[in-house]
Amino acid sequence: MTTEKRREREIEEMRELILLAASDIIASEGFDKLSIRKIAKKIEYSPSIIYHYFKDKEEILNNVMQRGYKKIVSAVTSLNMENSSPEERLIQMTKNYIQTALNMPDEFMAAQLNKSNKVLKHTSSLFKGASKEKTALSELYQCLQEIYKNKDVDENTIELTAQMIVVSSIGLILKLIIEKDIGDEQREKLTNFYSNEIVLRIANANTLYWEGGVN
């Protein structure tokens, strides 16, 4: 291994160490308590060392948030269901999203309950046009488009439906995180019922609306 390659690897390893420490602090104390000093103490380096790898706390925060969001995006975009109906993809997409969030409970809760603008630029999904800017929401939007392909459902209604599915999913996830002692079997029953029944009812509400001739 060349000196240059070794140095690159050392830089990546140090950046990873810093980001993991930041994630741990966020999970246990929240975003507002994150500081360069706390990160330095956790990894047993001086604060000045951290500035060699990140410009400031905001850059660290952005990296942590981006990594978390990439996990969510991967959960809803990595489906290999070419011969499946859009309804089946919607169900699996929802289950994957819930499971991914439950695999990082403290980080997910800290992010979703934080009201700071720095965090909201990563977590917000209710603004008009969000389905064009947020990758995960865009995937959901496209899936709903397929469900409504033979119906005259306008783009705004599709986006609102996608947003309502996201909001209700987050609500379930937060309750599953808080009520952590309900047991794996009950958690799975709730996830399956929500994904197989409730989400499809939300999606199909528009289908029934247009089939009924209401416009």
Which ranges of the chain does DSSP label H, i.e. alpha helix? 3-29, 36-43, 47-50, 57-77, 86-102, 105-112, 117-123, 130-133, 135-147, 155-178, 184-193, 199-211
Cα of first residue to Cα of last residue in the chain, in angstroms, is 67
Instruction: Give the residue range(s) of CATH 1.10.357 domains in the chain.
Output: 65-211
CATH of domain 65-211: 1.10.357
Q: Report the SS3 class of residue 80.
A: coil
Q: Please report, as a single letter, which amino acid is at residue 53.
A: Y
Per-residue model confidence (pLDDT) at position 27: 82
Instruction: Give the residue range(s) of CATH 1.10.10.60 domains in the chain.
Output: 1-54
Output the six-digit token pair for 80.
């290999």
Per-residue model confidence (pLDDT) at position 207: 57
- Angstrom CA distances, 11 to 16, 38, 160, stand at 9, 20, 43
Output the six-digit token pair for 119.
């965090």
Average pLDDT, the chain: 88
Residues 26, 23: Cα–Cα separation, whole Å = 5
Q: Specify whether domain 1-54 bears CATH 1.10.10.60.
A: yes
Per-residue model confidence (pLDDT) at position 9: 87
pTM of the model: 0.81
Per-residue model confidence (pLDDT) at position 16: 92
Per-residue model confidence (pLDDT) at position 210: 46
**Ranges of the chain with pLDDT below 70:** 1, 79-82, 206-215
Per-residue model confidence (pLDDT) at position 169: 96
Per-residue model confidence (pLDDT) at position 165: 95
Per-residue model confidence (pLDDT) at position 119: 83
